[in-house]
Amino acid sequence: MMNVIPVARFRSSGNPMKPTRLTPLVALLIATPLSADPLPRWALGPFLRPADAQPVIRPDKASVFSCPMSDRDIHWEALHTFNPAAVLLNEQICVLYRAEDDSGEMHIGGHTSRLGLATSRDGVTFERRPAPVFFPAKDDQRDNEWDGGCEDPRIVTAPDGSFVITYTQYNKRSVRLGVATSKNLVHWEKRGSAFRGTRYENLATKSAAVVHEVKDGQLVAAKIDGKYWMYFGEAQVNVATSDDLTHWKPLESEPGKLLSLIEPRMGRFDSKLTEVGPQAVRTDAGIVLIYNGKNAENDDRDKQLKPGVYSCGQVLFDAKAPTRVVDRLDKPFFQPELTWEASGQYAAGTTFAEGLVYRNGAWYLYYGCADSFVGVAMCKPN
DSSP annotation string for 167-180: EEEE-SS-EEEEEE
Question: What is the three-class DSSP state of 142?
Answer: helix
Question: What is the three-class DSSP state of 144?
Answer: helix
Residues sharing a CB contact under 8 Å with residue 223, sequence separation 6 or more, in sequence order: none
Task: Give the residue with greater pLDDT, 331 vs 30.
Answer: 331
Residue 173 carries which side chain, given as an amino acid letter?
Answer: R
What domains can be seen in the chain, in order of their start residue? Answer: 25-33+43-379 (2.115.10.20)
Task: Tell me how far CA of residue 340 lies from CA of 113, 189, 308, 371, 373, in angstroms.
Answer: 21, 35, 16, 10, 8
**Residue 118 binned pLDDT confidence (cut-offs 50, 70, 90):** very high
Q: Give tens-digit pLDDT for 174-219.
A: 999 999 999 999 999 999 999 999 999 999 999 999 999 999 999 9
Q: Is the pLDDT of residue 15 over 60?
A: no
Phi, psi of 144 (to 5 degrees): -90, -15
C-alpha–C-alpha distance, residues 367 and 374, integer Å: 6
Nearest to 272 by CA among 245, 232, 230, 302: 302
Residue 16, pLDDT score: 29
Q: Is the pLDDT of residue 31 over 50?
A: no
Question: What is the three-class DSSP state of 19?
Answer: coil
C-alpha–C-alpha distance, residues 10 and 248, integer Å: 36
C-alpha–C-alpha distance, residues 87 and 257, integer Å: 33
CB distance 17 to 11 below 8 Å: no
The whole-chain average pLDDT of the chain stands at 91
Q: Give tens-digit pLDDT for 333-357.
A: 999 999 999 988 999 999 999 999 9
Q: Is the pLDDT of residue 6 over 50?
A: no
Helices (H), the chain: 25-28, 142-145
Residue 34, pLDDT score: 43
CB distance 212 to 280 below 8 Å: yes
Residue 36, pLDDT score: 52
pTM of the model: 0.92
Average pLDDT over residues 25-50: 69
Q: Residue-wise over 165-188: b if at least 16 C-beta within 10 A, else e?
A: bbbbbbbbeebbbbbbbbeebeeb
C-alpha–C-alpha distance, residues 16 and 26, integer Å: 7
